[in-house]
């Protein structure tokens, strides 16, 4: 039941982000670079859910991004990129339990968004280089990646808290989700 | 730090007081234990990660090598069918919202823009309406230049600004060049197509031109083919039925239909310079009483649609307006 509500939240957030990304964001584009809302949704999901779910969500959302109408690149590139983002951010949040509270602090969200944006855009660009899909010079790619990072960091101020709220609100009664995580550090100290 | 990097399966690290058999059973079920831990703490298992990465790679390879008809295309098409209308709907829904920045323009700036656009519009409309007229004038000016080059006369271009009313029973027009432009009476006026008339009087800025169709106008002419002389009289009719009479000096010469009549010229180029085409013979009559032949000549110039004309001036005339020199070049006033 908890999983299903989380799934609905992920689906709603991803599809909404995808639609907004291709309809609204181009009006706010800087130099043609558009804020990556889907990536921010994956980052936010990775912050408040577990790494496994974030990885799967990244894969699914990336696949959707690959197949959605404006996409013309080789399918699977965004899937891989967002999967990596979901895994990395989820893993880091998991390894630092203080971060993975129910509501992460805003600086944490921002840092996660910026890092996720950099990782995602870079992986996407690198797969492009490997597949020689767009065959863009590396310097140009770096410029685009950094611009996207700045844009994502700005837009993350709104999108990530919104998505976090969506996920934490829909995910069942709070205690059942928090308790499994708390014994973990305690037991580890025992183990050592 | 993590459970992965600190494997709990090494016996010396396990210090929680479990006995040997428990330890042994733990060692035996290493993979299962780790997977269970990962599952409980929300970490993706390695197999899942590998599967996803391989899935991505496989998808990329399939799509890359498949090209146009790759197996991904149907999925892409399906996604497009579903998401395309949604995108269009969202876009239409959000259009008013996205237009808000435009709505925040102040009334003053909008008024300014309306005024500026109205000005521009009027300018463009005026340019559009006079475009045909300007083109026509350009053609006429170009024709005048050609005539100047052909006939070897310098001329001052001028525009017909007034046409005398029919009530005066004289066919005259006013042109916008006068004595300031170096004009004086008894100068030849021609258009690109041929002879127009001669200057009868000048003011400082205008001049009156008597058209060749005027009933009081007589032009010495000759038939281009055989150089036979004659006198061309106006009949006082302009317009579509404008006709001139040609009376041959030599009674034995019979003009023929289709022959061209040009000016014969007279001393010092006045009132008519020589060699300017007047018209074409259309009908020939025999005047039995006088024993001569009379021909009807249709003028080359449409006398009711005169606009740009040229006044033949001596080369080097001091004028206040540009002169088309004999070689066809335009000389600006000094």
Most confident of B35-39, B75-79, B137-141, B179-183: B179-183
Nearest-CA residue of chain B relative to A75? B60
Cis amide prior to B84 (ω within 30 degrees): no
The per-residue pLDDT for A84 is: 92
Beta bridge partner(s), residue B331: B323
**Beta-carbon count within 10 A of B142 CB:** 13
Question: What is the pLDDT confidence band of residue B294, given thresholds at 50, 70 and 90?
Answer: confident
The predicted-structure confidence for B209-257, as pLDDT tens digits, reads as follows 888 888 778 898 888 888 888 899 888 777 777 889 888 888 788 888 8
pTM, entire model: 0.49
Question: What is the pLDDT confidence band of residue B101, given thresholds at 50, 70 and 90?
Answer: low
CB contacts, 8 Å: A77 with chain B: 56, 60
% of chain B exceeding 70 in pLDDT: 80
The per-residue pLDDT for A173 is: 47
Question: What CATH fold (topology level) applies to the domain B135-331?
Answer: Thrombin, subunit H (2.40.10)
A·B CB contacts under 8 A: 113
**CATH class assigned to A2-175:** mainly alpha
pLDDT mean across residues, chain B: 78
Contact B90 A23 (CB under 8 A): yes
CB contacts, 8 Å: A181 with chain B: 41
Partner A, chain B 45-84, Cβ-Cβ below 8 Å: 45, 48-49, 52-53, 55-60, 63-64, 72, 75-76, 78-80, 83-84
The per-residue pLDDT for B120 is: 92
The per-residue pLDDT for B35 is: 57
Facing residue for B83 by CB, picked from A53, A69, A133: A69
- Tens-of-pLDDT digits for all 192 residues of chain A? 467 788 888 888 898 888 887 777 767 767 667 788 899 999 998 888 888 888 999 999 998 888 876 666 788 888 999 999 999 998 888 887 765 556 778 888 888 899 999 999 888 888 888 877 666 677 777 888 888 888 889 888 988 888 888 888 754 444 444 444 444 444 444 444
B205-211 average pLDDT score: 86
């Amino acid at each position: 039941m908890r999983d299903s509500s989380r799934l609905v939240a992920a689906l709603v957030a991803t599809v909404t982000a995808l639609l907004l990304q291709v309809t609204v964001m181009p009006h706010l584009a800087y130099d043609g670079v558009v804020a990556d809302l889907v990536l921010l949704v994956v980052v936010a999901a990775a912050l408040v859910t577990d790494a496994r779910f974030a990885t799967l969500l990244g894969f699914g959302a990336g696949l959707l991004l690959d197949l959605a109408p404006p996409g013309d690149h080789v399918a699977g590139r965004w899937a891989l990129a967002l999967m990596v983002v979901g895994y990395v951010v989820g893993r880091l949040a998991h390894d630092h339990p203080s971060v993975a509270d129910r509501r992460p602090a805003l600086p944490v969200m921002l840092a996660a968004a910026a890092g996720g944006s950099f990782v995602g855009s870079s992986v996407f660009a690198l797969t492009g280089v490997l597949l020689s899909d767009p065959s863009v010079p590396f310097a140009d790619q770096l410029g685009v990646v950094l611009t996207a990072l700045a844009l994502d960091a700005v837009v993350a101020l709104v999108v990530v808290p919104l998505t976090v709220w969506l996920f934490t609100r829909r995910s069942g009664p709070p205690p059942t989700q928090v308790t499994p995580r708390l014994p973990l550090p305690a037991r580890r100290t025992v183990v050592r | 730090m993590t459970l992965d990097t600190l494997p709990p399966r090494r016996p010396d690290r396990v210090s929680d007081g479990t006995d040997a058999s428990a330890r042994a059973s733990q060692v035996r079920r290493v993979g299962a234990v780790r997977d269970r831990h990962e599952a409980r703490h929300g970490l993706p298992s390695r197999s899942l990660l590998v599967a996803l990465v391989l899935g991505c790679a496989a998808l990329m390879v399939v799509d890359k090598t498949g090209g146009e008809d790759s197996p991904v295309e149907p999925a892409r098409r399906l996604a497009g069918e579903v998401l395309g209308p949604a995108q269009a709907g969202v876009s239409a829904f959000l259009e008013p919202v996205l237009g808000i920045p435009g709505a925040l323009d102040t009334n003053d700036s909008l008024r300014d823009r309306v005024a500026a656009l109205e000005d521009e519009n009027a300018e463009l409309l005026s340019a559009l309406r006079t475009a045909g007229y300007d083109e026509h004038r350009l053609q006429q000016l170009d024709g005048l230049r050609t005539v100047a080059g052909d006939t070897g006369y310098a001329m001052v271009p001028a525009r017909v600004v007034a046409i005398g009313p029919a009530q005066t029973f004289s066919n005259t027009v006013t042109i916008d060049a006068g004595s300031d432009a170096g004009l004086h009476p008894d100068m030849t006026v021609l258009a690109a197509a041929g002879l127009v008339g001669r200057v009868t009087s000048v003011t400082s800025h205008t001049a009156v031109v008597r058209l060749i169709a005027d009933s009081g106008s007589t032009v010495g002419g000759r038939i281009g083919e055989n150089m036979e002389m004659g006198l061309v009289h106006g009949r006082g009719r302009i317009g579509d039925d404008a006709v001139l009479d040609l009376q041959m000096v030599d009674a034995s010469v019979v003009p023929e239909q289709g022959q061209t009549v040009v000016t014969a010229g007279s001393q010092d180029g006045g009132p008519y310079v020589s060699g300017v085409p007047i018209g074409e013979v259309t009908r020939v009559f025999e005047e039995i009483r006088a024993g001569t032949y009379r021909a009807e000549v249709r003028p080359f110039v449409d006398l009711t649609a005169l606009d740009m004309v040229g006044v033949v001036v001596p080369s080097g005339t001091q004028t206040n307006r540009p002169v088309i020199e004999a070689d066809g070049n335009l000389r600006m006033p000094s």
